[in-house]
Structure 1
Amino acid sequence: MGSNGDGVSSKKVVFVTVGTTLFDALVRAVDILEVKQDLYAKGYTHLLIQIGRGSYIPSRSSGGDGSIAVDYFTFSSSIAESLRSASLVISHAGSGSIFETLRLRKPLIVVVNEDLMDNHQVELAEELAERKHLFCARPQTLHQTIVSMNLDSLLPYPPGDAKPVAKLMNRYL
Structure 2
Amino acid sequence: MKFPSILLQTCIETSQGPVWLAASPQGLAGLWFAGQKHLPAQLAIGPSWQHADDHPVLQLAARQFKEYLAGQRQVFDVPLDLSSGSAFQQSVWQALLDLPFGTTTSYGALSERLGTPSAVRAVAAAVGRNPVSVLVPCHRVLGARGDLTGYAGGLERKAALLRLEGTLTVSMADLPRSAPLFAEPSI
The two structures have a TM-score, normalised by structure 1, of: 0.29
The two structures have a TM-score, normalised by structure 2, of: 0.27
Higher percent of residues as helix: 1
